[in-house]
Amino acid sequence: MRRIVTAASLLLGICLLPTLQGCVPIVTAGATTGALATLDRRTLGTQTDDEAIEWKARARTNERFADTIQLSFTSYNRRVLISGEAPSEEVKAEIERIVSGVPQVQAVFNEVNIARLSSFSNRSNDSYITTRVKARFVDARKFNPIHVKVVTEAGVVYLLGLVTQAEADAAVQIARTTKDVRKVVTLFETISAAKARELTPQTGEPAKPRNSPAASA
């Protein structure tokens, strides 16, 4: 219980960071990110791969399509969610092909909408929905919020993570009943309770790499 409360406090700190100003949030964000990394069910190697995948996917698609697209890339356990807007089905398919070719990518979920680029106000509203969902995860205390990744696009909430069925059910229920959420899409990898305990580091103990391949160029 102590680990869950501590993790929840860290996550709440992240939710509140956008409301802060000055240099302190930058320092806090760095410290918080490091702390959260040690509580993640992914190995440190996999977390590094996920960051590299997101960066490479963004760079490669931007190089190819420049200002004609507006996309977000979320990699969790080397499974990539592509969300945002593209001008045509052909471009959408090409984006998926590019992302599938990024090293270490094991699966791609292409949720790109064929639509005009969304406005700043729409994107801000999506960010606000994501923050509300995360905050409600913390308040509910039904699972460790660190294990669920939340992405919102046009009012649709996507949930990713390595979670038990009970955790998945609780996350979906909370997200579904959050104000302004139009739909919830689950992209979870479901694991047993025993596997969850095995993958969850204990409080105060750093996460130990479990022989993950390093991110390649």
DSSP 5-18: HHHHHHHHHHHHGG
* Per-residue pLDDT, 173: 98
Q: Global pTM?
A: 0.78
Total length of the chain: 217
Residue 28 scores a pLDDT above 70: no
| Residue whose entry in the numeric block shows the structure tokens 């969790």 | 76
Token pair belonging to 47: 């977390």
52 half-sphere exposure, CB direction, 13 A CA radius = 16
* Per-residue pLDDT, 38: 81
Token pair belonging to 127: 């960010």
Residue 181 scores a pLDDT above 60: yes
Choose the weakest-confidence range: 3-17, 168-182, 197-211: 3-17
Q: Which domains does the chain have, with CATH numbers?
A: 2-39+120-199 (no CATH), 44-114 (3.30.1340.30)
Choose the weakest-confidence range: 6-20, 33-47, 79-93, 168-182: 6-20
Per the CB < 8 A criterion, the answer to whether 46 and 211 are in contact is no
Per the CB < 8 A criterion, the answer to whether 213 and 45 are in contact is yes
The Cα 122–Cα 130 span in angstroms is 13
Q: Are strands 162-163 and 189-190 parallel, antiparallel or unpaired?
A: parallel
Q: What is the mean pLDDT of residues 19-44?
A: 59
Task: Reduce the DSSP state of residue 153 to 3 states and report it.
Answer: strand
Is the dihedral angle over the CA atoms 44, 47, 53, 59 positive or is it negative? negative
**CB < 8 Å & 24+ apart, contacts of 173-178:** 174/133, 174/136, 174/137, 174/140, 174/142, 175/133, 175/136, 175/150, 178/129, 178/132, 178/133, 178/136
User: What is the overall mean pLDDT for the chain?
Assistant: 85
- 47-65 pLDDT, tens per residue? 999 999 999 999 999 999 9
SS3 content of the chain, % helix, strand, coil (to 5): 55, 20, 30
* Per-residue pLDDT, 213: 46
* Per-residue pLDDT, 178: 98
H or E element that contains 190: strand 189-190
Token pair belonging to 214: 């390093």
Task: Reduce the DSSP state of residue 125 to 3 states and report it.
Answer: helix
* Per-residue pLDDT, 16: 45
